[in-house]
Amino acid sequence: MFDPTSRYATLATSTFKLDDGTEVSYVLRRFVPNAASLQIIGQTTTVQGDRMDSVTTRTLGDPLSFWRIADANEAMDPFDLVDEIDRTLNIPMPM
């Protein structure tokens, strides 16, 4: 259902039956991991013009892995991480 590198790839699915009998499949909730449980392999500092895709390309080699950095920095909105210049971000071990 999802790309293997997606944060949702390992989540279980369930179904809900509507009144008319139609079954709707959905992905169960993803719980954000405790940042302290993640192995941090380094840090990076944001610079003018950084976007989450550019930070993750530079640090993890994958622009779609922004959610890993968000998890490691306890950010519900990953775009908040690049709002300020000179912010130090933890970079987690890729899975």
Judge if 15 and 45 occupy the same domain.
Answer: no
* pLDDT for position 51: 97
The 10s digit of each residue's pLDDT in 53-88 is 999 999 999 999 999 999 999 999 999 999 999 999
Cβ–Cβ < 8 Å for 75, 67: no
- The count of structural domains within the chain is 2
Please answer whether residues 92 and 71 qualify as being in contact, where contact means their C-beta atoms are separated by less than 8 angstroms: yes
Q: What global pTM score does this model have?
A: 0.80
- Which of 89, 32, 87 lies closest to 59 in space, CA to CA? 89
pLDDT in tens, 12-25: 999 999 999 999 99
- Same domain membership, residue 51 and residue 7: no
Distance (Å, rounded) from C-alpha 1 to C-alpha 21?
23
Q: CA of 18: how far to CAs of 13, 21, 24, 59, in Å?
A: 16, 5, 7, 44
Residue-number span of the structural domain to which 63 is assigned: 37-92
